[in-house]
Structure 1
Amino acid sequence: MDPVIIVGAGPVGLSLSLALARQEVPSVVLDEGPGKDEQRAARTVVLREDTAALMERLTGVALAELGLRWTGWRSMRRKQVTREVAFQPDGTEEEPGSAYGPAAGRATEDRKGAVEGPGADGEPAPLHIAQHVLTGALRAAIASERLVKVAVESRLDSLESEPSGVTAHTRGPRGTWWRGSYLVGCDGPRSTVRKLLDIRFPGRTAVERHAVAALRTELPWPGEALLHRMPPWRTSGPSGGEVVARPLPDGVWRLDWLLPPGKDLVTPELLVTRVRETLAGWNGGGSTPAYDLLDTGVHTVHHRLARRWRAGRVFLAGDAAHLLGALGTQGLDEGLRDIDNLAWKLALAWHHGPHEVLLDSYQAERRAVVAARLRASDQALPVLRGGGSLRSYVPGSARGHDALLADGHLGRGALGAPGRYTTSPLAPAHTESAASVDTEPGAQVVDVRVTAEDGSFVRLRERLGRGSLLVVLVAPGTGVWERKHWVSAGIMPRLAAAVTALPHSAELLVAESYPGAAPHTVLLIRPDGHLVTALSGVRPADLYEAAEATLGGPAKEQATAGAG
């Protein structure tokens, strides 16, 4: 069978090729460039816990050694104010004011107006990494991958989609015709694939603009990410002064200044002035500390959403399908979640024939999640940038503006948390055997320790992305015994037989515990880490029906023609 053609060799396209290779699907990546990435210190990406784990699975590299996780999050509004802020057990502030404090207890605002607290309710902090370092790790992994071919200096200029496959033509020194089973456009905001398919890309232009600088210096908060909403040295209004600083390895920082609306030219002189006044302000208002300016730029945020993400055997992913990034949200996160969702579905169709309901579910699930993220940003923007009432966005909420803005930066809430496929066409029907756990069906599972079939202890996320369903039995006490002592005892033989009989390959894992799960709860998990269902005990018929629904329904009900 022909390989999958991937158009675009950015992080999303390269990641998709590796995700397919892990499931024994060959691919060709059409790279219009020379196969090398420009090294820009000011061009960085932020990965949340789930997307960072995905990148580490695909590259085999501990990315924390190449980037930096924040040791804390600091939100600042003004200088020379000292106060204590009390928080209720649910994380809301007991008295009026704007503060960031997700945990119960007391947080102290220091003399520079910073409120310190644990990041994202104790969850791992986001990973900040230079984009060329990330793509370099992906390219290094591809170099030793037999199932991935990268065609450099190959720019797509035409494509034809047929019921039996896709034909694409590239121009350039190595221009030629390519034949593929499927084609995925990961070719960015100006996607040639999207234009050739005549798919509309409506939305909003220049939602935000940021001046960006990467520099090596010492700040008073080593390793901490910083949000300073209204520094006193900036007087251009509520949208003119916000500064964000994110640490990188080797004493490097990326600083972003929110620019006022408009198209005013950002000159080198203006950027240097902002660097000097910001560093001086953060260091007590005196002289500017020593710094080494490495790179500068202007980042413009657009909000757009493609009308369709699938046309027959052609799909869109990443910036070709959506643009977002206001209020601290990260577009690459969503692009990587796109390919994690799509890869296992393409692999199943590649190996076993068209699964139209399954392939259609990619657009249904991912487009709905990104649309909800864009709606949340559009609702919050007037409040956070225009100084409006927070209650107009969240009626009855006591959370401060800073806390709402931090959601996007820290990857939580409507602005930043991973999406849930609660209305997925792949969701199984509710059964009486369904059990309640802390993870809602359609949401990402918690990364607990599990015992694999070979008896080794691994993290649950390490078993994702291999194309198999995961079945996890919650069995307290199994963690202290070798697998050979309990694998043939109790309900294990019956569950193992049920897993073997499923309509798709599945791996049986055992966990000591899972948040909110009673003993003998059985979890069915998709290859991309989203919970299908939780069942009370071993229910072979219900487990089979849930697995069948996850694959798009019985094979006899599959459509024979692709989506238009």
Structure 2
Amino acid sequence: MEQDCDVLIAGGGPTGLTLAILLARRGLKVIVAEKEAAPYPLPRAAHIDHEGMRILQEAGAAEDVFATSRRVARYDFLNSRGKLLLRFDGSDRIGPGGWPGANMIHQPSVEAALRRSLQRYPDAVLCHGWEVGSFVDDGDGVTTRIGTPEGPKTIRSRFLIGADGARSPVRTAAGIAFDDLQFEEPWLVVDVLVDDETRLPAANLQICDPKRPTTCVLMGEGRHRWEFMILKGETAEQVSDDAFVAALLDPWDVKGAVRIERKAVYTFRARIANRWRAGNVLLAGDAAHQTPPFAGQGMCSGLRDAANLAWKLAAVVKDGAPDALLDSYQPERARNLRATIDMAIMMGRMVCTTNRWAALARDLKIGIARILGKQPNGPSGYPTIMEGLIIAESNAAGSYFPQPVASDGTRLDDVLGAGCWLLSRDTLSAAAIRPFAPAIERWLDDRQSDAVLVRPDRYVFGTGDPRDLRAAWEEATRLHPAALADPVAAAREDIRI
């Protein structure tokens, strides 16, 4: 049966748009079906980390996003008296991904940047007002019924991706259930436009006050956010009342400095889909997992999904890799995702303590840890890839490969481009690589390796002898050598495989 596209993506949010761009860059024909008639204009996600920015870099949107984002050095947890409990410092410094560790963003601006990038690819189309309905997976592809402003349509695709949010109709229709991780708290989110930035905190804050746990964070340029925990007995209507919100903001002394842009009640949840793939139907982003916002990893997790899934879909559709390659998607992502959710739950339970005595015990425990020098200075590192397309016994396999930045601001990925890299000590003399050679050589020295094979999502496949790595990659992916290209052939022929 003739196909209308290689991949149909349900959902035109950051995950769906990023996935569409990464697929289009690899030569696939993509349709994004977004049920809303127009882009959602109000803020939602607030943070992208260095790894998320690196993914946006590949998607051609990072510079635009960075231009309207703000950096923040500190993430402070304060008790009810305003005393410091815990501080995560230095998040404005450049992270392994080659971008600052914490970038506070305005989600509509992120989506606008992604839409502009998507328009560069004639074989990638974003269709607003398209709502995915029923679908049939016959093994060779998926036939999907879609409601559109012009009437019902039927789209035939090789794969269907549900990137359609927490209530995902695709997930529901595929019969995929959620595993509940037992965190559910209702909060009021208040987003404001800032007229006088000098009157607002310069750090991200968690106010661990049992009377009313509160979050106060920077957003993209010209915006700020407060989140207030809804207490037992309060209703969504009550806490959304203008007078109630004004009373919540009054202690912050920001009257005249801010204007309310949005008020919304959210239930912060922690859940993971028990399957991320059902035949030719796969899930990504909030359709596959939901995390409380305390670690700022909601959007970041969806971007990581897109980066992991894009190159594998392209390998199957375009390069002849076996369909089983996609079975590595969930095992590779789930362990990292579970750790980010566990971190968010830990932070959330610390913040959401409403019992006065439990809060006092928490404060004393944290204070003792600080005296003993056992407090963390940042969130714990998340697990590397432990199983899937890696040489498990190889040194550093599954770890995240850093992106060095040259003295002139050039980043490694922009020089080497998309695809898989085979970097050996012999390649470091190539003119294109020379500005990054010291950083790469240090990385190899630290791991006592002669070469590293870096996957397209920038995780390490393995280290060792270059010829052995090439052979192991071809065996693991079943990709024919003829399908392997080289973006810097003029410099060296053995960098990208």
Range into which the TM-score falls when normalised by the shorter chain = 0.7 to 0.9
1:224–1:247 CA contact under 8 A, matched in 2: no
- Residue 306 of structure 1 is matched in structure 2 by 273
d(CA) in 2 for partners of 1:390, 1:76? 12
d(CA) in 1 for partners of 2:46, 2:475? 36
1:392, CA displacement in angstroms? 13
2:321–2:477 CA contact under 8 A, matched in 1: no
- 1:136 aligned to 2:112? yes
Identify if the C-alpha distance between structure 1 residues 141 and 324 changes in structure 2 by more than 3 Å, giving closer, same or farther. Answer: same
2:463–2:469 CA contact under 8 A, matched in 1: no
1:83-232 pair list within 5 angstroms: 98-100=85-87, 117-119=89-91, 123=95, 124-174=100-150, 175-203=152-180, 204=182, 206-220=184-198, 224-230=202-208
d(CA) in 1 for partners of 2:219, 2:33? 33
Residue 291 of structure 2 aligns with an amino acid whose one-letter code is L
Tell me which of 325, 328, 353 is aligned to 1:358: 325
- Residue 258 of structure 1 is matched in structure 2 by 229
1:241, CA displacement in angstroms? 3.3
- 1:420 aligned to 2:384? yes
How many residues get paired?
459
2:16–2:163 CA contact under 8 A, matched in 1: yes
| Secondary structure, aligned partner of 2:263 | strand
1:185–1:314 CA contact under 8 A, matched in 2: yes
d(CA) in 1 for partners of 2:102, 2:169? 32
Identify if the C-alpha distance between structure 1 residues 446 and 208 changes in structure 2 by more than 3 Å, giving closer, same or farther. Answer: farther
Tell me which of 386, 402, 405 is aligned to 1:446: 402
1:162, CA displacement in angstroms? 1.7
2:18–2:303 CA contact under 8 A, matched in 1: yes
- 1:546 aligned to 2:472? yes
1:319, CA displacement in angstroms? 0.7
Identify if the C-alpha distance between structure 1 residues 99 and 73 changes in structure 2 by more than 3 Å, giving closer, same or farther. Answer: closer
- Residue 290 of structure 2 is matched in structure 1 by 323
- 1:248 aligned to 2:230? no
> What CA deviation, in whole Å up to 9, does each residue of 1:397-437 have, x standing for no partner?
65999966x85xxxx415xx5x521x222221536xx5xxx
2:171–2:283 CA contact under 8 A, matched in 1: yes
Which range moves more in the overlay, 137-146 or 516-525? 516-525
d(CA) in 1 for partners of 2:40, 2:392? 49
1:470–1:526 CA contact under 8 A, matched in 2: yes
1:156, CA displacement in angstroms? 1.3
- Residue 253 of structure 2 is matched in structure 1 by 279
1:275, CA displacement in angstroms? 1.7
Tell me which of 408, 411, 415 is aligned to 1:459: 411
Identify if the C-alpha distance between structure 1 residues 483 and 444 changes in structure 2 by more than 3 Å, giving closer, same or farther. Answer: closer
2:415–2:432 CA contact under 8 A, matched in 1: no
1:218, CA displacement in angstroms? 2.8
| Secondary structure, aligned partner of 2:142 | strand
- Residue 70 of structure 2 is matched in structure 1 by 68
| Secondary structure, aligned partner of 2:134 | strand
- 1:9 aligned to 2:38? no
- Residue 43 of structure 1 is matched in structure 2 by 44
Q: CA RMSD in A?
A: 3.7
1:165, CA displacement in angstroms? 1.0
Residue 286 of structure 2 aligns with an amino acid whose one-letter code is D
d(CA) in 2 for partners of 1:202, 1:399? 38
2:45–2:299 CA contact under 8 A, matched in 1: no
1:502-541 pair list within 5 angstroms: 511-514=437-440, 515-518=442-445, 521-535=450-464, 539-541=465-467
Residue 513 of structure 1 aligns with an amino acid whose one-letter code is A
Identify if the C-alpha distance between structure 1 residues 391 and 358 changes in structure 2 by more than 3 Å, giving closer, same or farther. Answer: farther
> What CA deviation, in whole Å up to 9, does each residue of 1:168-210 have, x standing for no partner?
0112433211010111011111111111111112314633524
1:127, CA displacement in angstroms? 1.4
- Residue 332 of structure 1 is matched in structure 2 by 299
d(CA) in 1 for partners of 2:436, 2:462? 16
d(CA) in 1 for partners of 2:416, 2:326? 19
Residue 139 of structure 1 aligns with an amino acid whose one-letter code is R
d(CA) in 1 for partners of 2:428, 2:196? 49
2:59–2:114 CA contact under 8 A, matched in 1: yes
1:300, CA displacement in angstroms? 2.3
- Residue 30 of structure 1 is matched in structure 2 by 33
Residue 278 of structure 1 aligns with an amino acid whose one-letter code is W
1:151, CA displacement in angstroms? 2.6
2:47–2:104 CA contact under 8 A, matched in 1: yes
d(CA) in 2 for partners of 1:379, 1:205? 10
Identity of aligned residues (%): 22
Residue 243 of structure 1 aligns with an amino acid whose one-letter code is T
1:128–1:246 CA contact under 8 A, matched in 2: yes
Which range moves more in the overlay, 377-386 or 46-55? 377-386
Identify if the C-alpha distance between structure 1 residues 477 and 351 changes in structure 2 by more than 3 Å, giving closer, same or farther. Answer: closer
d(CA) in 1 for partners of 2:479, 2:388? 10
2:33–2:131 CA contact under 8 A, matched in 1: yes
d(CA) in 2 for partners of 1:373, 1:522? 30
1:554, CA displacement in angstroms? 9.7
Consecutive unaligned residues of structure 1, counting only runs of 5 or more, are 82-96, 103-116, 231-236, 281-287, 435-439, 487-508, 556-564
Identify if the C-alpha distance between structure 1 residues 381 and 129 changes in structure 2 by more than 3 Å, giving closer, same or farther. Answer: closer
Residue 49 of structure 1 aligns with an amino acid whose one-letter code is H
Residue 46 of structure 1 aligns with an amino acid whose one-letter code is H
Structure showing greater radius of gyration is 1
- Residue 430 of structure 1 is matched in structure 2 by 393
1:6–1:29 CA contact under 8 A, matched in 2: yes
> What CA deviation, in whole Å up to 9, does each residue of 1:491-550 have, x standing for no partner?
xxxxxxxxxxxxxxxxxx972233443287311100001012222xxx244212431355
Residue 63 of structure 1 aligns with an amino acid whose one-letter code is V
Identify if the C-alpha distance between structure 1 residues 477 and 373 changes in structure 2 by more than 3 Å, giving closer, same or farther. Answer: closer
> What CA deviation, in whole Å up to 9, does each residue of 1:63-93 have, x standing for no partner?
2212222255455446687xxxxxxxxxxxx
| Secondary structure, aligned partner of 1:12 | helix
Residue 462 of structure 1 aligns with an amino acid whose one-letter code is D
- Residue 485 of structure 2 is matched in structure 1 by none
| Secondary structure, aligned partner of 1:224 | coil
d(CA) in 2 for partners of 1:169, 1:476? 50
Identify if the C-alpha distance between structure 1 residues 541 and 474 changes in structure 2 by more than 3 Å, giving closer, same or farther. Answer: closer
1:228, CA displacement in angstroms? 4.4
| Secondary structure, aligned partner of 1:119 | coil
Residue 211 of structure 1 aligns with an amino acid whose one-letter code is V
Identify if the C-alpha distance between structure 1 residues 320 and 247 changes in structure 2 by more than 3 Å, giving closer, same or farther. Answer: closer
d(CA) in 1 for partners of 2:316, 2:406? 29
| Secondary structure, aligned partner of 1:151 | strand
Identify if the C-alpha distance between structure 1 residues 296 and 378 changes in structure 2 by more than 3 Å, giving closer, same or farther. Answer: closer
- Residue 488 of structure 2 is matched in structure 1 by none
Tell me which of 263, 277, 280 is aligned to 1:296: 263
- Residue 561 of structure 1 is matched in structure 2 by none
| Secondary structure, aligned partner of 1:62 | helix
> What CA deviation, in whole Å up to 9, does each residue of 1:36-88 have, x standing for no partner?
21321x4343110111222233134432212222255455446687xxxxxxx
| Secondary structure, aligned partner of 1:369 | helix
2:106–2:219 CA contact under 8 A, matched in 1: no
d(CA) in 2 for partners of 1:532, 1:4? 26
Between Structure 1 and Structure 2, which shows a larger proportion of helix residues? 2
d(CA) in 2 for partners of 1:472, 1:517? 9
